[in-house]
Each structure stands twice: as C-alpha cells, then as structure tokens.
Chains A and B, each alone.
Chain A
Amino acid sequence: MSRHKLVKALDLDEELDDFDGGAESDYGEEIGAEDKEQLRVGTARVRDVLGPGVSIRDREIEDSLWHYYYDVDKTVDYLLGQRTNSQTPKKTKKQRTAAEVKQPDAPINSTQDWGTGDHITTSDTFSSWAAPFSTADFFSDCPWLNIPGDRHGDILIEPLYPRGGLLGGSSKSDGAPKSKLAALAAARKQKEIQKAEDGQNATNSAALLDKLIGKPRQLKPDGAPISSSGTPLSAITEQTVKEQPRKYPRRKSKRLESPEDDQPAKKTSQKLSCSASPEIEKPPEIIPTAGPSVFAQIIFGAPAGSQQHEVYTSDRYMLRPDTYTEFDFAGPSPDDVVTKAQNTKGPTKKPVKQPPQPPSGDQGVNAVAQSVGNVTIEEPLVKRKNLDVAAEFEKSKPKNAANFVVIGHVDAGKSTLMGRLLYDLKVVDQRTLDKYRKEAERIGKASFALAWVLDQGTEERNRGVTIDIAMNKFETKTTSFTILDAPGHRDFIPNMIAGASQADFAVLVIDASTGNFESGLKGQTKEHALLVRSMGVQRIVIAVNKLDTVQWSRDRFDEISQQISAFLTSAGFLAKNLAFVPCAGLTGDNIVRKAQDPHASWYTGAPLISLLESSEPVTRALEKPLRMTVDDIFRGGVQNPLSVSGRLDAGNVQIGDTVVIMPASQTATIRGLEVDSESSDWAVAGQNVVLHLADIEAKYLKSGDVVCPPSAPIRCVTSFTVKILAFEHITPMHCEVHKGRLHAPGRVTKLVAQLDKASGAAVKGKKPRLIKPGSVAKVLVEVDDPIPLEQGGKVILRAGGETIGAGLVE
C-alpha cells in the first residue's frame, strides 16, 4: 500500500470536525427519526456483510454510513480500509488492545473520536503513520535531472481525441467565456481527472467504473480489499451467493424473508428460480449493445480509428495559412475592440487638444472643468410674487366677463346659433367656414357647417349632435364672453351639467318650427331649464330659433313666449330675468344684426348679442378661499408636464402658490398660470384658467377634483344633507351624485323632511316616505368614496339616466 493511499485515507475534514469535542453530539441530535431507522437497518446490513469476525463499533459503522449516504458497499469498503490501515503497525495494535481492556467503550479506530479518546492512543496512532514521512526518504529515488539513460523514454501513444460530433460551440475549457458556476464545474472536473491520474490512474479509474457496474464488491473473485483485510469470504451468506446472478440480491432476499403465507411464497420462489435459471447460464458480461445504425454512423462519423485522421485532415487544421489563428471567443470580439476604441476616443482626445501650457495654467483649466462637472442643474423654484390679487384685479379694469351656457332640446340649433354668432363676430374667418361647408356638403349635412365651428370631434360631426361641452370665446366692446355649448341629447346630460356649473347665465334655444317646439318642451327644454336653475343660474335669455321656417310668424313667437315664460316662472326664474328674442341661426337674422326679412319687421327689440351684453356683471367672490373644480388634465407642453384647466369658482390664485388637490390631498405648486389662453401672474374667481402644476404626479389628479389652498382645504364627505327640488319621485334609492365634472355613485339613504316650497320650513307631520316631483325636501345622501363638497355646493342627483333632483348641500 503506497503512502499516497495512506494520505488519501485520512479524511481531513472528518478529522478536523471531530476534533471539536462538542460537534459530534450536535451531529447526533440532528439526525431525524427516519435517518435513525435507516442507520439501524444499514448497520445491520454492514454487520451481515462483515460477518462476526470483524469487531467494529456500531458508532463507527453509523458514522461511515452517514458519510456515504447509507451506501452499504462503500461503507464496508471504507471500514475494511480503515481497519487495515490501523492494523498494519503492530505496535499500535497491541497498545490498543490494552486500551480496550482498560476502557471497553474506547474507540477502536483512533482516527475517529479524538475528542473522546484517551491521549495515549491518539499520539501513538499519529506517530504510527506520521513517522514514515521523511523528505529524505520521499525523494530518495529522485535523480534530480541526472536521469540515467535507461530511464529515458519516448511516449508515442497516439492520442485519442474526441470525435468531431455535431456542429456547435466548443465545450472545451478554453472555449467561450464561462459563467462562474461553469468555471467551477470545469475546475471540479479537472480536479477529479487529476486525482485519477495521480494514483495508479488506470487501475483506479477502472476500479471506479467497476464499482458503477454494481456488482457487490466482495463477490469479485480477486476482491483486493477483502483479501487485504483478511476477512474470510464466509461473511457472505449462502443465500446471497445463490442470488448473485440476479444482480439485485438484496431485494430478493428481503422478499423471501417476508412473512407471507407459506403456499404462495413457495410458489413464487419456485417460479422465480425457474425464471432466473436461464439467466444463470447467460453470463452477466453479455451486454445488449448494438452497433450504430446507418443514421448513428453518420451523426457520429466514422469509427474512432479513422476518424482521428479525419480530424487532422479537415480544413480546420490544414487548409489555413500558417499565420491564421482561430478566434477562440475568449477575448473581446473585433467589433468590441473597435467600439471600445471609439468610446475611449473622447477622453483621450482632450489632452491632445490642450495646448502645452505651464503646469499652473493646466491646473486652472482642470479645475474649471471639474467645477463644471460638479454643477448640478437644480429645478428652478417658482418664486411667488406676493401680489395682492384683488388690488391687481381692480387695477386691471377688466371687461365684464361672462360665461353662458347654451341649452335646449336636441336639434334646436344651439351649436349652429353659436357658430353663427362667432362667424358674424369674425371670431371664425370666412375660409374656415367655407372649408366646413364643403366638408359638410360632402357628407350630406350642409346645414351643419356652422355647428362644426363648435363641434370639433369626428363623432360629433358625423352624428350631427354635440356630445361634450364645447368652449369658445368672443369679445364685444364691453364684455368678454365664454360660450359653453351644451349637448342637447338626453344621453349627454352629465356633460351638460358640467357645463352649466360653470355658467353665469344661460341661453335657452327653442326650436320654433311646427311640432319641434312641442316635442322639445316635453323633452330636454324643460329638464335643461330646471337644471340650470338648480345650478344657480338666475338669468336666462330665450332665443326662439328657426323662425324663418314659420315665416317669422309673430303669433308663433308669442305663443312660445307665453308658454315658456309660464313654465320658467313656475320653475323659479324671476320674470324680469327672462328675455325673449326671435332669431334664425342658419341665416343669422337677429343675432348680431337685425333681421332683414320683411316678415320680421314686427320685432323692434335688440338682437341676441345686445341681450347678452346687457347681462349684469357677476359679483366675484375674490376674498373667499380658493376653489377650482378641475375640468381637464393634460400635458401643457414640454415646460409644463402637468396642467389642469377649469373655472375658478371662488378666491384667487397666483404663480408660486401652493395648493392642495382634494380628495387626493396632495400638495402642488403652481408653476405657471394661463387666463383665457394668455399667461398671467394671477387669476380670480370667474375666470377660466389653466394651472401648470409642479411637484405632483398625474396619478393623484382626476377631473372633478377640487383645487384649494392648504390653509382651508375643502372637506371630503361621504354623507351629506341636500335640500333638493325633486324632478321625479324620490324614495330611498340608488342615484348618481353630480357636481360639475365630478360624479360619483351614491344613494339617497333617508328622506329627512318635506319642505314648504314658499317658506322653506319643514312640513309638519310624519316623515315622508316618498317625495313627489316638484316638491322640495331635505334628504340624506351617501356616497361610496369621499367627494369634496362644502356648504352651498350645488349637486344634482340622477338615476337611471333621468335627473331626479337638484339642490344645495347643507
């Protein structure tokens, strides 16, 4: 046995582990019940194999079983090897026997259990294998380069290279750059091979492979380890010998021992033996290996001998100029080299550019360059100018500003009337209108050309109805107006509400043509009028449109005026706040200019535009806390990534103000401000503004939010009392709460009281169970998500596409 083996047999890891006294007990505790059972079974098996002649402690067997993952064969090998190692020096053995007598529990194999064993044994054993290691001995045979002639040799073994195989990348270690893990694996592989070479590599690897074949090692006729250990073959039971050709003896033996009822057991065993009998004749060396098929021959190439030749003659090695070296993909690719050079050009150029200067100057340049590099561009903070907005507003001597909403039944001609107004006031030029006219004719809706001034959407134009609020501006000598062109169709009432909430007064357009007026009165004419009234609009101008279709009949106009004024006064408008004007939107009569039609000569009043101008300037709540309902959120350009538009309901605002967006309660800074599409430093209530916000993300904003000052933020409520005017029967029911742009699902939870229409006092009696249309009542409304609301806010309740009521929050 060579010294190498001795060294190898010394399991350093284990030695070191065991040296730590406490480690072993911990080790034992870790073992689970299942493992214990396996250990027990394994120990019994090892004992079986070793036979009674060998005295090894259970503990040792268990340790080695644990180490070898319960592999019995390996354990036996290991233990036998251990024994032979420890027994060779006779002196130690004697010593040990003495120790055994003295201390029966002491470990037999001293390489184990150093911590618990006595010191004499340990030191002895140590010397027993450590002594032979003298360097002089070790190198005694070394010629130190003076190799005698008889030892010289030429190795002429033809190397057996791996075949070419299929095309693909190299699996060799010098191939493409590998991951760390792959490198580790390769290193491991390499080490293993190295190990195999170290010893008697041929025999060693053969032994390893023999082990793989799985024949129990002790059965080998020349079983080296067994003969060396001196254990007689008697350790193997008769039964195992008999089972040997079946190649999986343990399984069989277990089965035969199993306590089955006798009869079938015998039968099976007989059957097994007979089925096994032909196999005994068949030597186990017969391996069912086939030669390669034609296909396999092609993919693997020719058999090894000639194939090697092929490798050499392939153009890969031969048909290249000598200077050619194959690129092995280990380094950077040529492309990478070029790219790298290009990238490094910038910095390398710099010193070349610099003219040779005295070192001090050079330093100065460097310092500047460095400081430039250090500069970080900070976002310029918006400075607040601390304006007194109210005073500024007074100073600016503003024109009267008025927002008016145009309402009326669908197809009453609202958009066309407004388009005409804008056209006649030269807000829209002739060319644009001609273009619209041409396009409208093309799709066969020539009469809609004027409406297209306000209806910009494709769908709106194709369908010929307004869908969303259209906003436009125009100015007269005294007033600047904002038109809010509301959709008349009943499906788009929410949009109309949004528009109406921003209006100071309303223009009610009525279709005077036969039949249409009546249908309109039943339809949205009434609903719109009620809605704007409940939104707080007091003044209303009634444009009796399309009078040209009835030859400007005065009777018709009077009839309509009577009916409408009767209805509007009943709805709560004061008679003095009503103004009627007969007009024709398509022709433009009585809108900006007086009607030219001789039939219309009976009307002596002012045209529509004068009536609009005569609207009283609204009082502005300048000093109240800021309230602005967000109408739209958009990207206002590169400079202003986030902008909101809307009408200032109350208060004022200026650049640099910090505002709170409710209900998200996120603060934002006003970076810029636009009033009527012109940038301004401030804005006051009643103006339509665009706020450019900073320090806030778009996700916190949605239309219907309220912008307020941080000092007086609007409260977000989930339940509130409303004093409403009922349009429909109201019971505790689900409804949708509208407030300007904002709408939220909610429900009427409680009918608090019915109110007297005239006095506003609660009607005595029991609580109402139903509120009839037209009556006034106080109801409790709850919404799912908090909505920003405050006292005096105007809300509208809708259910099932119908407006059921409108009123004030209390």
Chain B
Amino acid sequence: MTDRRRINGPPSGTSPPVFASSLSSKVFPAKRKRAPDELRKIFLKTGLTPSASGSAYLELEPSTPTAAHKSLATKAPALKLTCTVHGPRPLPRSAPFSPQLSLSTRIKFAPFAARQRKGYVPDAGERDLAAHLETALRGVLIGERWPKSGVDVVVTVLEGGEDALWNRGQSSDGGRTGGWGMMSILSGCITVASAAIIDAGIDCIDVVTGGVAAIVRQPTAPPQVFIDPCPADQEEIYATCVVGYLQTRDEITELWTKGNVTLSIDLGFEHLLDQAVEAAVAARLVLIEAIKESTEIKVQTSRIGHPKNAAS
C-alpha cells in the first residue's frame, strides 16, 4: 500500500542518460580483487546518535574503488548502516509481564537505500531480516537482568548493496528483497547492532559479530569459498552462509544458509560455515577497536566531567 500522505518518488530510479561515448568503454562487471579470505574494510563507530542510549554506524566500502569508473551508472554501492538502541526501558503498562528483557528489532531500508526505492512500511524482506537479527542478538543478551523492560534495536540501512548492477537489465526479480545481498546486509546488521548494544551498556555474555561467506563459481577452477562477498562484484554465487558468532564462547547465535551447497561437493557445508565464522572473527577485531575507542572517551569524560556540567 502506498502512503498517500507523502509525495513519493518514482518506484524505481530514473536512469541518468548514458551517452554513446561512455559506452565505448564497455561496462565491465567489477571483479573481486581481494583475496578469498580477505574482508572488505570496515568503518565502525559508536555514539552517532546522542538521544539514543546506544548507537553505532557501520560502513563497508565497495571492494572496487569508485574512482576507477567514470560512469555514474557503474558506481558500486557501499553498505552503510546505522543502528540505535533505545532502552532498556520499562515496558508500557499495557504489555504483559515479561520476566526478562524483551527485545524488539527493526530493520528499515531508507527509501533511497537501493536503486529500487523502498516504501515507508517495512516489507517482507525487512521483517525477515529483523527476525534473523533478533535471533542473533537474543542469544547474547543476558535478559534475566532486566525484567519488565524492553529494548528496541533499530537498524536503518542508508545504503544497501544491490544484488546486481541495475543497468544490466532486470535480474531475477525475487532478488529485490531476498537476494544474496541480504546476507551481507544481515551480517553488517549483526555487527552494528552489537556495537550499539555495547554502547548502550546492556549486559551481554559476549560480543557477537556477523560474518558471511559464499561459494562462488570460478570461470576455470572449481568453486571456491569467498569471505564477505560483495554484491557489486558480480560473482556467480551458489550458496551463502551468515553466522552470528561469539568468539570467546565459540558459539553461534544465528545461522542462515541459502543456496545449493551440494553444488561444490568437496567444499562441504562445514567449510562454508568455517569461513563465515572466520569473517565474523575478523569483524570482531574492528568491533573491539571501536568499543575501545568509545570506552576511552567515556572513561575520560566521566573523570574530568563534561564542559556542560562544569558550566552550570
């Protein structure tokens, strides 16, 4: 249902004119230049939203630098996520009694997040992602310490990588909400939500991070497992696996696999899973760094006092 109170943009982006000259350089699908076990660089920072009790921002740059392309049309999308955590706060009176922290997650694509504009009402894909995120986070929160209270985790996808280059014709249409790109986004969501939860100071048994790996067809060689596949890389993916992983406890809180794993017989499911865990472990390093940074600032602020307090 469209929202008639707002002036909505066209359902899909209008394509900028592509002039003949630029077509002379053929639009190559970007190729992965990273090693199979190399992550894209992650930018993660907490404390973006002061009004929330915890917040974080995560950015994954596309593996191919955008400067390489002159044409706007082939600009590879990045992944930009913000997460805010509100709470723990008392449940409304109308809510039934809950002996532990009740977690509610929401993932929303900004209308401009992808080439295909999203509506304001969460669609099935977004709700599905939110459910996965909830599973990932539920396993890490110590809910018993916060009875009768709730926490809202809201992830906004500011820029979500698309499954296919938009100008290569309509890809399989199911990809709009449920393609391989969703898996990378979920992995990012887990990491950024974890950072925001830690920023909010909610008790956790460990730090959960998301990791993703995919079995990718090689033109000549047998299929190989790539860590952190980028949707812009135009790989032909057989199967993808996302995990939410707790490293110190060696536990998995969330596991989502899609595709046909059996296509690559010698690379079993376990291997795919291992690689996803590998990605999660690497993402954890970034997360720890981000937490360290924000913790240092907090410690100093609390010791010295905020200038505002001093003034008043």
Contacts and interface: CB of A to CB of B under 8 A. Distances in A.
A188 B282 CA distance: 31
Interface in A226-253: 247-248, 250-251
Interface in B202-259: 205, 207, 247-250
Contacts of A172: 306, 308-309
Contacts of A317: 307, 311
Given A171-B51, A247-B247, A293-B43, A162 B301 contact: yes
A278 B301 contact: no
Contact of A197 (B78, B303, B312): B303
A136 interface: no
A325 B90 contact: no
Contacts of A162: 47, 297-298, 301
Nearest to A196: B299
A762 B207 CA distance: 94
Contacts of A153: none
Contacts of B309: 172, 174
Interface in B246-301: 247-250, 270-271, 274, 277, 281-286, 288-289, 291-292, 295-301
B105 interface: no
A141 to B, nearest CB: 23
B40 interface: yes
A299 to B, nearest CB: 7
Interface stretch (A176-184, A639-647, A661-669): A176-184
B47 A181 contact: no
Interface in A269-292: 271-272, 275, 278-279, 284, 287-292
A205 B44 CA distance: 21
A69 B205 contact: yes
A364 interface: no
Given A181-B90, A272-B274, 12 more contacts: A69-B205, A71-B248, A157-B304, A159-B305, A159-B307, A172-B309, A181-B88, A181-B149, A192-B201, A197-B299, A212-B288, A296-B43
Interface stretch (B52-60, B120-128, B161-169): B52-60
B299 A214 contact: no
A311 interface: yes
B45 A300 contact: yes
Contacts of A205: 295, 299
A185 interface: yes
Contact of A179 (B89, B201, B296): B89
B152 interface: no
B50 A168 contact: yes
A73 interface: yes
A171 B53 contact: yes
B291 A212 contact: yes
Interface in A287-323: 287-293, 295-296, 299-300, 311-312, 317
B27 interface: no
A549 interface: no
A165 interface: yes
Contact of B50 (A157, A170, A189): A170
A23 interface: no
Interface in B19-67: 35, 37-45, 47-53, 57, 59-61
Nearest to B303: A197
Contact of A189 (B60, B146, B201): B201
B80 interface: yes
Contacts of B205: 69, 71
Interface in A145-201: 157, 159-163, 165-166, 168-172, 174, 179-182, 185, 188-190, 192-193, 196-197, 201
A137 interface: no
B132 to A, nearest CB: 22
Interface residues of A, number: 64
Contacts of B52: 168, 171
Interface in B84-105: 88-90
Given A180-B90, A288-B282, A160 B297 contact: yes
B14 interface: no
B285 A213 contact: yes
B247 A161 contact: no
A293 B60 CA distance: 9
A248 B301 contact: no
Given A69-B205, A209-B288, A296-B57, A193 B42 contact: no
Q: Which secondary structure dominates where chain B touches chain A?
A: mixed
A523 B41 CA distance: 92
B302 interface: yes
Given A213-B288, A325-B312, A248 B50 contact: no
A293 B59 contact: yes
A441 interface: no
The 7 lowest CB-CB distance pairs between A and B, nearest first, are A290-B41, A168-B51, A169-B51, A214-B247, A159-B304, A287-B285, A214-B248
Nearest to B41: A290
A810 interface: no
A166 B50 contact: yes
Interface residues of B, number: 67
**Most A C-beta atoms less than 10 A away, residue of B41, B43, B78:** B43
Nearest to A325: B312
A247 B285 CA distance: 11
A645 B40 CA distance: 83
Nearest to A190: B302
Contact of A299 (B57, B78, B289, B306): B57
Contacts of A192: 201
A392 interface: no
Given A162-B301, A212-B291, A296-B43, A287 B286 contact: yes
Contact of B49 (A160, A165, A251): A165
Contacts of A71: 205, 248-249
A616 interface: no
B285 A288 contact: yes
Interface string B67-89: 00000000000101000000011
A182 B90 CA distance: 8
A802 interface: no
Contacts of B298: 162, 193
B312 A326 contact: yes
A212 to B, nearest CB: 5
A193 B302 contact: yes
11 contacts: A192-B201, A205-B295, A211-B248, A212-B288, A212-B291, A214-B248, A288-B283, A289-B286, A296-B59, A296-B80, A300-B57
Contacts of B289: 287, 289
A181 B78 CA distance: 38
A278 B278 CA distance: 13
Nearest to A291: B43
A328 B158 CA distance: 32
Nearest to A186: B201
Given A209-B295, A288-B286, A296-B45, A165 B59 contact: no
Contact of B41 (A157, A166, A179, A288): A288
A422 B213 CA distance: 94
A201 B45 CA distance: 23
B143 to A, nearest CB: 13
Nearest to A155: B304
Contacts of B57: 296, 299-300
A289 B90 contact: no
B42 A289 contact: yes
A292 B43 contact: yes
Contacts of B282: 287-288
A161 B288 contact: no
A170 B247 CA distance: 34
A432 B187 CA distance: 81
A436 B247 CA distance: 90
A248 B59 contact: no
A268 B288 CA distance: 31
B250 A165 contact: no
Contacts of A278: 35, 37
B231 to A, nearest CB: 17
A268 B271 CA distance: 9
A209 B302 contact: no
A766 B274 CA distance: 91
